[in-house]
Amino acid sequence: MTTATSPTYYVRRFSEYMSELWRRKDFVWFLARGNIKARNASTVLGLAWWVLNPLLLGMVYFFIFGLIFPTQRDIAYLLSGIFVFHFSAQSMSGGANSIIGNSKLLVNIRFPRLILPIAFLLESTFGFLASLVVLYLIVIPFADVVPGPEIVLLLVALPLQIVFNLGLAAATARLAVPFRDITNFIPYLTRVWLYMSPIIWPLAMLEGVSETAQSLFRLNPMFPIIAVYRSALLGYPLAQADLVAMAAWCVAVGILGVSMFIKYEGKMVRYL
């Protein structure tokens, strides 16, 4: 029942929370592995879905935007964008569900609630890595792209995006627990976000619009994130500004989302 609200109080609470999370890392790991195992056990194809999911996802988008309405014939450009986008987009619904779907656990046992979205994130990171393997399986034979030394950039890009996703997942969970309406809204938001991102249309298309519109488009965090990934995965030239912008976005969203979540934790059970 401390009344202190000074910044140092929040910093201390934040760091205490983080060390408690770290103490519970075995739990996070088991939860994620358990979910993966349970999912594999209840489907006929089991492990094959790790490859099939991104493969089907990529095929659907290539079918529509590469063949039917050919806005983007560059399959490497399209798939890299889709997979990176999907990794972030799914953390919104996944984060909300990790809390809402585990209401029994939350009501009965006390533990840092952030463990649940983190476990989901861990699970989806495995999925993302599998999708990168699928990417190369398609891109190497069909687009004549091979991974170069730039791929070490992944060591920066991946942790940054995970922090970004954690922020997204935590913020969505924070908002969706009292306002379930949000879970209905997420798919539409995701679709708009996809169309606003440089995935199904080429970057060159931006040159046709006004400077103001261009800079507005570039406010989308997916712009720098996807740009950095394309440098890492496909050897596109890397703009330093993109790397800086990506880092700024990811850290800001991560801290904002996590603090929103932690602040709300004590009230969560009332809405489950």
Partner 1 sequence: MSQPSVKVENVWVRFRPYIDRRPTLRRSLATFRHKETQLVEALKGVSFDVQKGEAFGVVGQNGAGKSTLLRVMARTLRPDEGRVVVRGRMSTLLQLGVGFNAQLSGSRNIYLGGLVAGLTKEQVDERYDEIVEYSELGEAIYRPMKTYSSGMFSRLAFAVAMHLDPEILLLDEVLAVGDEGFKQKSKATMHELLGRSGSIVYVSHAVKQLADFCDRAMWLKDGEVVAIGEAGAVVDEYRAFVQHRRKELRAQGLA
Residues making contact with partner 1 (CB under 8 A):
1, 23-24, 26-27, 30-31, 34-35, 37-38, 41-42, 104-111, 178-181, 266-267, 269-271
Min dist. Cβ of residue 254 to partner 1 (A): 25
Min dist. Cβ of residue 78 to partner 1 (A): 35
Min dist. Cβ of residue 43 to partner 1 (A): 11
For partner 1, give the closer residue by CB, 118 or 199: 118
For partner 1, give the closer residue by CB, 72 or 172: 172
For partner 1, give the closer residue by CB, 72 or 97: 97
Min dist. Cβ of residue 30 to partner 1 (A): 5
Q: Do 173 and 95 meet the contact criterion of CB atoms below 8 Å apart?
A: yes
Distances (CA, A) of 262 to 28, 199, 219, 254: 17, 34, 27, 12
Min dist. Cβ of residue 173 to partner 1 (A): 15
Q: 101-112 burial string, b = 16+ CB within 10 Å, else e?
A: ebeeebeeeeeb
Distances (CA, A) of 162 to 52, 155, 202: 23, 11, 26
For partner 1, give the closer residue by CB, 119 or 132: 119
For partner 1, give the closer residue by CB, 4 or 41: 41
Residue 135 to residue 58: CA distance in whole angstroms: 9
Min dist. Cβ of residue 103 to partner 1 (A): 10
Q: What share of residues in the chain are helix, strand, coil (percent, to 5)? A: 80, 0, 20
For partner 1, give the closer residue by CB, 73 or 267: 267
Rg (CA), the chain: 20
CB < 8 Å & 24+ apart, contacts of 21-30 = 21/112, 21/114, 21/115, 21/118, 24/111, 24/112, 24/115, 27/111, 27/115, 28/115, 28/118, 28/119, 28/122, 29/122
